[in-house]
Amino acid sequence: MEFTGKIALITGGGGGIGRASALGFAQRGAKVVVVDLDQAEGEASAELIRQRGGDARFVRAVNLTLGPQNHDIDGAETIWDFFRGFP
């Protein structure tokens, strides 16, 4: 299956099944948004994709269990910028 022209948003993309899925979608042509609570591992997944010639961004997951004071919309804005840049 080919995903050229599609964007895949992978939650838990910083490790395990999520990282494998992110790499798999990218290998098949998708631009990938890697979402994870773990910033270092999520960014590592996105970097792995870019090193292999793909296009990927990392967005830190918002942990809703920490309460409203810990929410931010940085991730949402990053996703919006990513989609807006997509022809």
Ligand X SMILES: NC(=O)c1ccc[n+]([C@@H]2O[C@H](COP(=O)([O-])OP(=O)(O)OC[C@H]3O[C@@H](n4cnc5c(N)ncnc54)[C@H](O)[C@@H]3O)[C@@H](O)[C@H]2O)c1
- Residues in the site for ligand X, rule: CB under 6 A? 11-12, 14-18, 35-38, 41, 61
- Do 45 and 22 contact (CB within 8 A), yes or no? yes
CA-to-CA distance for 36 and 61, rounded, in angstroms? 5
Tokens of 46: 């996105």
CB of residue 79 vs ligand X: minimum separation in angstroms?
Answer: 14
Nearer to ligand X, 18 or 54 (CB): 18
CB of 72 or CB of 85, closer to ligand X: 72
Please list the alpha-helical segments (H only) found in 1-87: 16-27, 39-51, 74-84
Q: Whose Cβ is closer to ligand X: residue 53's or residue 73's?
A: 73
Minimum distance, C-beta of residue 2 to ligand X, in the bound complex (Å): 24
The residue of the chain with the least Cβ separation from ligand X equals 16
Q: What's the closest the beta carbon of residue 35 comes to ligand X, in angstroms?
A: 6
List the structure tokens of 2: 């080919």
Residue-level length of the chain? 87
